[in-house]
Amino acid sequence: MFWSLVRKDLLLELRTKEITISMLAFGLATILIYALAFSVSPAMYRSFAPGLFWVIILFASALGLHRMFVLEKEFDAFSLSISAPVDRGIIFLAKWISGTILLIISEIVIIPPFVVFMGLSLPNNWLIMIMIIIIGNLGIMAIGSLVSGLAMRAKMSEILLPILLFPLVSPLLIGSVKATNGWFQGIPFMNWQFWVLLMITFVVVFALLGYTIFDHITEE
Amino acid sequence: MLSVANISKSFYHNPVLKNLSFRVDDGDVIALTGKNGVGKSTLLRILARISHPDGGTVIYNGVDIFKGQASARSGILYLGHEPGLYPSLSAIENIEFACRIHGNYPIEENIITALKNIGLSKQIKDPIKIYSKGMLQRLKYALANLLPWSMLFFDEPFSGLDIEGRNLALGYLNAWKANDRAMIFVTHDVEWGLSFCNRLLLLEAGSFKIDQNADSIDVKTIMSGLQ
């Protein structure tokens, strides 16, 4: 059942391309604006690149999440899933995982121009950064899927989503920026492992919370 | 089979449904009628667990659908007033997904046959957002025909259908009725409701004004209640 729901979300995106295009358009436009509008030294870019990267990812995720749940509202399609004999926690988990997959796909396109336009030279141990990105994405999408489920029935869901999402995601985002900065500056992992643990805690807490309460928040 | 007790629901402090209670047994075919905005669709959405009542219980096969596991609702199929399908997916993809989340895994050939039988042989691989209202309605019949439901909630079964579509739909409805499956239809077509269904519920001001066997009701009584 879980994979049928994930498959449906990915198939919908394959047909519409609305989620990835909105995330990519925002991400690439922001990178270009920052790269062209500010004439700062490479050292300066290096100091604010981790923060800038995660802010771009957060805003792009908010756009993608909104589109993801708008697709469920059209034709009242969401009633098909929630009236079916499927645990709504599973529906949340499927939304969370498919959202994370789409975010990772967008990042694969966003990261190379980010590195090039910001003139960044990256450390070699890439696996750690991939791990940080995946945990950060899982966290943003866990909180985002929960908040989107809550906001989707509201009349002004596009406004309600960022209002609820940004404060909730702040500690996770701070952790992501600190961990990325630690990797970027070549600081030993021991010195910034706290932030990775904080991120993992957020992922686990919001995944469990979403699984538990998605049933109640999606009812009319 | 389905026991509804003291269901109530309000919107913005306006009570729409007031302590409604009724029972649906195997083979019951019920027409639920009433004026616009009286809460017919809301009641159907509560029975399908899309909407949550302010109070009351809905017991299906001995399990409270609001407290029991989701699997307890196996056998219930809800077809709402809206298409309830994904506009960007094709008819085949929509039906396949709908069947999967209802625990069925039909092969594509069977889906295509079901679509052909309801007169949807063309554009079955195009996104359904290009479909007319009648075609979307036919799609619901194709879906219902592929699933082994035992309790159907259908909001406006003939909405948007042309004469050919209506006749095809009647064929399906008669077949389902002959199989002793329970069905609740929200309808404004009182004459059809009285002729096809074996029971009629007239909803007015949050309560059932009429809950009787269809053959003991005069059409004029219903029509006067709807005016």
- ipTM for this model: 0.90
Give the model confidence (pLDDT) of B167-192 as tens digits: 999 999 999 999 989 999 999 998 99
Task: Work out the minimum CA distance from A18 to partner chain B, whole angstroms.
Answer: 11
Chain B contact for A17 (CB, 8 A cutoff):
no
Contact between B185 and B30 under an 8 Å Cβ cutoff? The reply is yes
Which token pair is B179? Answer: 């199989």
The architecture CATH gives domain B2-75+150-226:
3-Layer(aba) Sandwich (3.40)
Q: Indicate the pTM of the whole model.
A: 0.92
> What average pLDDT does the structure give for chain B?
92
pLDDT of res. B136? 96
The percentage of residues in chain B with a pLDDT greater than 90, rounded to a whole number, is 81
Domain boundaries, chain B: 2-75+150-226, 87-148
Task: Work out the minimum CA distance from B32 to partner chain A, whole angstroms.
Answer: 19
* Substitution target from B11, B101, B136, B143 for chain A, most A beta carbons within 10 A: B101
Which token pair is A151? Answer: 């906001």
Chain B contact for A3 (CB, 8 A cutoff):
no
Give the model confidence (pLDDT) of A18-42 as tens digits: 999 999 999 999 999 988 888 777 7
Give the model confidence (pLDDT) of B70-86 as tens digits: 999 999 999 999 999 99
pLDDT-wise least confident of A40-54, A199-213, B23-37, B60-74: A40-54
Q: Which residue of A has its CA nearest to B74?
A: A85
pLDDT-wise least confident of A45-49, B75-79, B88-92, B148-152: A45-49
Answer yes or no: is pLDDT of B223 > 80. Answer: no
CB contact under 8 A, A11 and B89: yes
- Rg of the Cα atoms in chain B: 17
Beta strands B182-186 and B199-204 are unpaired
Q: Could you tell me how many residues make up chain A? A: 220
Query: Within 13 Å and on the Cβ side, how many CA atoms surround A7?
Result: 11
Domain boundaries, chain A: 2-217
Bridge partners (DSSP) of residue B200 are: B31, B212
CB contact under 8 A, B86 and A1: no
Q: Which residue of A has its CA nearest to B11?
A: A220
Residue of B49, B78, B84 with shortest CB distance to A77: B84
Which token pair is B85? Answer: 């399908």
Q: Which residue of A has its CA nearest to B81?
A: A76
